[in-house]
């Protein structure tokens, strides 16, 4: 048995459409239909970016396959980007259209992880990402930390955008002009995080879980060459099929804005009602020159205090 889904200019065949992927009853056909429907909102955020693919051929209760390389059997119309790695290269999928998203759903790709740079200038990221990962702290504390980092970024002359991860935490993303390389962007993010941690003892840069206690990790390692972050509007392999959902900034002040609040079935209604809060994110892209000078001032004040 199979199903055909029209996605843009192509019709994509879904094999075994009734195959369950989530215990809540979501099947492969549901994931494929979601990808087709969410594509207009999702594609502007991932087009041109190499992707890592999180696959669950036997559903989310089965083994996970974390796949970087595009499958040899993938059709020729799916775009690839050849990326250097230690000892060679790897050809990643680059999502360029709705049909690619639907095809990946047929391959039981539940979660897409996107590079913070695009294939035409891999060394120059256009997203800076802070991943706020709670240990045992409350969700309210993580939202408060995101707001604090956002206020700090605005002080530096940058515009922050928030997103639920669909898992346990939130991302604060900053659009950048493609001028600085990964090392410079990561160093900038680390210094921003240092100031945030100095101001709020509930935050930490400690990567080891055992050493964090109840503090919230401000993870800046997404800003590294070949590292990825969950793509906006991507489904997570968790109960209920929660979705990584872009937010309006004021939603970080609402107790209802849980990291896993919006699901595959709910996020399309949200988009239809409110649109994509990140639709204009690109217009806020800035270079890091002036923010770096302001950041140096704040670091100097931190050393003197």
The C-alpha angle with vertex 249 and arms to 225 and 177, in degrees rounded to 5, equals 35
pLDDT of residue 254: 97
pLDDT of residue 133: 87
Give SS3 for 198.
Answer: helix
> What residue ranges do the domains of the chain occupy?
1-114, 121-305
121-305 shares the fold of 1-114: yes
CATH 2.30.130.10 fits 1-114, yes or no: no
* Residue appearing with tokens 């060459």: 225
Nearest C-alpha neighbor of 131 from the set 111, 113, 110: 113
CATH 3.30.70.3280 fits 121-305, yes or no: no
Residue-wise pLDDT tens digits, 228-241: 999 999 999 999 99
Q: Which residues of 79-104 are buried (b: 16+ CB within 10 A; e: fewer)?
A: bbbebeeeeeebbbbbbbbbbbbbbb
pLDDT of residue 305: 67
Edge-to-edge strands, sheet with 216-219? 161-164, 170-175, 127-133, 216-219, 203-204
Dihedral of CA atoms 67, 69, 74, 80 in degrees, nearest 10, equals: 130
Residue 162 CA to residue 203 CA, distance in Å, equals 18
Q: What is the pLDDT along the chain (305 residues), one digit of tens a residue?
A: 789 999 999 999 999 999 999 999 999 999 999 999 999 999 999 999 999 999 999 999 999 999 999 999 999 999 999 998 888 999 999 999 999 999 999 999 999 999 999 999 999 999 999 999 887 768 999 999 999 999 999 999 999 999 999 999 999 999 999 999 999 999 999 999 999 999 999 999 998 888 888 899 999 999 999 999 999 999 999 999 999 999 999 999 999 999 999 999 999 999 999 999 999 999 999 999 999 999 999 999 988 76
């Amino acid at each position: 048995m199979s199903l055909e889904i029209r996605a843009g200019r192509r019709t994509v065949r879904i094999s075994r459409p009734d195959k369950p992927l989530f215990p809540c009853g979501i099947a492969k056909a549901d994931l494929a239909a979601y990808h087709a429907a969410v594509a207009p909102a999702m594609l502007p955020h991932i087009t041109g970016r190499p992707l890592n693919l999180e696959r669950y051929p036997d559903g989310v209760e089965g083994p996970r396959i974390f796949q970087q390389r595009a499958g040899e059997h993938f059709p020729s119309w799916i775009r690839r980007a050849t990326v250097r790695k230690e000892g060679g290269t790897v050809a990643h999928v680059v999502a360029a259209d709705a049909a690619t998203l639907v095809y990946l759903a047929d391959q039981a790709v539940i979660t897409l992880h996107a590079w913070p740079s695009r294939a035409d200038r891999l060394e120059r990221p256009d997203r800076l990402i802070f991943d706020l990962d709670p240990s045992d702290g409350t969700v309210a504390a993580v939202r408060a930390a995101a707001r604090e980092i956002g206020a700090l970024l605005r002080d530096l002359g940058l515009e922050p955008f928030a997103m639920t991860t669909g898992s346990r935490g939130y991302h604060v993303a900053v659009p950048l002009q493609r001028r600085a390389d990964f090392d410079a962007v990561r160093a900038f993010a680390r210094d921003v995080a240092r100031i945030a941690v100095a101001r709020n003892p509930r935050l930490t840069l400690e990567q080891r879980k055992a050493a964090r206690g109840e503090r919230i990790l401000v993870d800046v390692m997404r800003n590294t060459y070949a590292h990825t972050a969950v793509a906006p509007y991507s489904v997570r392999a968790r109960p209920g099929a929660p979705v990584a959902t872009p937010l309006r900034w004021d939603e970080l002040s609402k107790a209802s804005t849980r990291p896993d609040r919006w699901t595959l079935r709910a996020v399309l209604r949200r988009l239809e009602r409110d649109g994509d809060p990140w639709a204009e994110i690109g217009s806020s892209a800035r270079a890091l020159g002036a923010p770096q000078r302001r950041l140096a001032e704040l670091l100097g004040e931190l050393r003197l205090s």
